[in-house]
């Protein structure tokens, strides 16, 4: 049987309500958009999120350091620590797998605070350092070895594994921002990668175990919604 069909079958039996992290994130982003809203996708990568949902916003732009962008429409090359827009410009800032790469989170958060309108939102999806699948490799291996393991297990290119610092990657770190931002929501999401069958089975067992309320915070990914005070 084809591996994808096999994993889909098991997953639909184990948890018929399971949604992949991309789907959860996309739904939340769409729910925050309307024609009155100005949206910046920070660290947009190939700019696919703006390409998919940009038409739902009044204005939408993706910003990234890299020029290697597939969807150039509504894209600006730049550093998100110095956004090329005036203060109070945006209603929504999104960051999909970007904050784990922040070395100094305050440099970024001060800039997002400047650029957001009052009550403006930040939607973040990132890794959760409380998950053993994140903290164990981080604690044991230096970045170069971790890179090799990740590229081999998940069959991704080496340049797709950016240096990570996880400075903002726990629920507690987000609650520390409460002077500046209201934490509207933190949702823990499982990443059930099916690149390899054995990895899929381990991650599925972890997903089931972390369905228990007290263990839920140990899931691999977090979706966080912040509101500027």
Ligand X SMILES: C[S@@+](CC[C@H](N)C(=O)[O-])C[C@H]1O[C@@H](n2cnc3c(N)ncnc32)[C@H](O)[C@@H]1O
Residue (81 or 114) nearer to ligand X, CB = 81
- How far apart are the C-alpha atoms of 3 and 9, rounded to whole Å? 10
Closest approach of ligand X to the CB of residue 153, in Å: 17
Q: Which is nearer to ligand X, 101 or 217 (CB)?
A: 101
- Smallest distance from ligand X to CB 164, Å: 9
Indicate the residue among 119 and 163 with the shorter CB distance to ligand X: 163
Nearest residue relative to ligand X (C-beta): 45
Tell me the two tokens of residue 161: 């594994």
Nearest-approach distance from CB 173 to ligand X, in angstroms: 18
Residue ranges that bind ligand X, judged by CB under 6 A: 43-45, 63-66, 79-81, 96-98, 101, 162
Q: Between residues 69 and 192, which has the closer beta carbon with respect to ligand X? A: 69
CB of 135 to ligand X, least distance (A): 19
The span from the CA of 229 to the CA of 215, in Å, is 30
Q: Which candidate, 41, 44, 157, 169, places its Cα nearest to that of 99? A: 169
From the centroid of its chain, how far is CA 44?
11
Cβ-based nearer residue to ligand X, 107 or 119: 107
Q: What is the DSSP letter of 157?
A: -
Sequence-distant (≥ 6) Cβ neighbours of residue 112 within 8 angstroms: 42, 93, 122
Minimum Å gap between C-beta 102 and ligand X is 7
Please give the Cα distance from 148 to 214 (Å, whole number). Answer: 33
């Amino acid at each position: 049987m084809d591996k994808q069909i096999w994993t889909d079958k098991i997953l639909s039996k184990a948890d018929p309500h399971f949604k992949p992290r991309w789907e959860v994130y996309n739904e939340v982003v769409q729910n925050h958009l309307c024609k009155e809203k100005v949206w910046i996708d920070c660290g947009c990568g190939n700019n696919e999120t703006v390409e998919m949902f940009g038409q739902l916003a009044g204005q939408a732009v993706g910003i990234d350091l890299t020029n290697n962008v597939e969807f150039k429409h509504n894209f600006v090359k730049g550093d998100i620590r110095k956004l090329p827009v005036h203060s109070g410009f945006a209603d929504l800032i999104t960051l999909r797998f970007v904050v784990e790469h922040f070395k100094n989170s305050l440099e970024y958060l001060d800039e997002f605070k400047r650029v957001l309108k009052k009550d403006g939102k930040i939607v973040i999806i990132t890794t959760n350092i409380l998950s053993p699948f994140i903290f164990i490799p981080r604690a044991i291996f230096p970045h170069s070895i971790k890179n090799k393991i990740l590229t081999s297990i998940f069959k991704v290119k080496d340049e797709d594994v950016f240096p990570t610092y996880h400075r903002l990657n726990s629920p507690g770190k987000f609650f520390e921002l409460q002077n500046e931002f209201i934490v509207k929501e933190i949702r823990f999401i499982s990443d059930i990668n099916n690149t390899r069958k054995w990895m899929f089975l381990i991650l599925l067992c972890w997903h089931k175990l972390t369905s228990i309320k007290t263990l839920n915070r140990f899931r691999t990914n977090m979706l966080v919604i912040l509101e500027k005070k």
